[in-house]
Amino acid sequence: MRQRPLQVIALLAAAGCLTLSQARPAHAQTSRLEPNSVKRYMFDCATPKEAAAELKKREITPLETIPGPKPGGSSIFKARFANGLEIPYVIENTDGRFYIYAELRRPQYPIPPIPYVEQEVVFDNPEAKLSFVGTLTVPHGSGPFPGVVLVAGTGAHTRDEVVSLHKIFLVLADGLTRHGMAVLRFDKRGVGLSGGKPFPESTTDDNASDARAAVRFLRIQPGIDPARVGLVGHSEGGIIAPLVAAGNPEVAFIVLLAGTGLPGLEVQVLQDAAGAKAAGADEKTLRATEKLDRAIFPIVVATKDKTEAMKKMHAAERAILTADERKLLGIPEAGLPDEAYEGLLTPWFRRFLELDPRPVLEKVTCPVLAINGGKDLQVLADENLAGIERALAKGGNNRVTIKKLPGINHMFQTAPIGSGNEYRNIEETFASAALELISHWILETMRLAPGTF
């Protein structure tokens, strides 16, 4: 889902949740890293003592004395964030100056040799007159194998759905293929090697058209059982999967990972409130945030002319908020600049706000697994799972499994709090328990036992 509540930006910045990515200095030394890790430059200083002080300012507590490596050398030490997360840091001595890096480990990334076949593929979407490039992973053996199309969430994602330096779909595809499924993941429109206009110019409907083409492609591949091809959609992909499956006999099952069961406008209001609360907002600020959301979002949906929409949003901002509420939200005396509203007027966001997944879910007749994380602050689990369950029941679908996973965030990591600023620093890319649940549900639903293909 879109994670940019405009009225919460000032709150997040004040709480230290928004940071600018810093480039690694060209002259810094290279240290020995764990396999599948990323070294992210944090800052540099004159002494290890200064490094400890800078980390303390950032609410990061070293768990040991920070070593002072010799010139040209490096050392690793651990430190803990205020939320309890512990990660390793690298300190390097380059010409007498010390450079501090966060070592972001990714232990779930597959390391060759891999126990399956991996190949790059190209498929067409005739409806859009576009070609898409992706990766198909297939277990060893003759099959026929059940097939899975992975559908990414909001944003201009490559086939690996990279979020906060985590390759979510790389790990998910690897896990599902090891369990005996063929998996197709692909670059979204205008991203990587695929054609078309990228997010936010493309909409959820465009992405659904592309996913539909991916299903058709996978069903005709050698070694794939066309009667057992389904979709696993994450976040916005959890909206797209039902759009593809509704009334479509080509889809054997769908898995919704942090999918929505409420209209987009309601999802965004809840997300903005959750983000503000996680950033430390009080009840008055939360009420002001919701007031502004409910005033401007209907304008975004109903007013197609951009200039007119901008005028109406500025007028609504002035009319709906008191002077004290504007102060709480960090809105200047002259009001928010046009740039603050630009992101709301894109084709993608307009369509997201107006799209209601419930009538679509009512038309889904194939088996459905819907799982959401209990610490998801972007797509709140209780409200959305309830909406999904009610809509499927209303349509008469009784082949439904609904699960709320405690301690899991929007990216399906085990998380202390669930806020977006944690994603990068968590080593886990995708919770093993969630991956096992998805794999075994698909195999059981398709009446297969692991290794019986």
What are the structure tokens assigned to 447, written together?
């009446």
> What is the pLDDT at residue 31?
54
> What is the pLDDT at residue 125?
98
> What is the pLDDT at residue 171?
98
> Is 0.85 surpassed by the pTM of this model?
yes
> What is the pLDDT at residue 205?
98
What are the structure tokens assigned to 406, written together?
């405690």
Other beta carbons within 10 Å of 416: 16
37-45 β-sheet, strand order: 37-45, 97-105, 86-94, 74-81, 60-62
> What is the pLDDT at residue 1?
60
Contact (CB, 8 A) for 343 and 349: yes
Phi, psi angles (nearest 5°) of residue 96 = 85, 0
Residues 148 and 232: their CA atoms lie apart, in Å, by: 7
> What is the pLDDT at residue 34?
78
> What is the pLDDT at residue 32?
65
Contact (CB, 8 A) for 106 and 166: yes
- Residues in a beta bridge with 150: 232
Measure the CA angle with vertex 419, ends 413 and 424; round to 5°. 55
Domains of the chain, first to last: 6-105 (no CATH), 116-262+356-445 (3.40.50.1820), 269-336 (no CATH)
Work out the angle between the directed axes of helices 204-219 and 347-354 (0-180°, nearest 10).
Answer: 90
pLDDT in tens, the chain (453 residues): 655 444 433 333 333 332 333 334 444 444 566 789 989 999 999 999 999 999 999 999 999 999 999 999 999 999 999 999 999 999 999 999 999 999 999 999 999 999 999 999 999 999 999 999 999 999 999 899 999 999 999 999 999 999 999 999 999 999 999 999 999 999 999 999 999 999 999 999 999 999 999 999 999 999 999 999 999 999 999 999 999 999 999 999 999 999 999 999 999 999 999 999 998 999 999 999 999 999 999 999 999 999 999 999 999 999 999 999 999 999 998 899 999 999 999 999 999 999 999 999 999 999 999 999 999 999 999 999 999 999 999 999 999 999 999 999 999 999 999 999 999 999 999 999 999 999 999 999 998 544 444
> What is the pLDDT at residue 93?
96
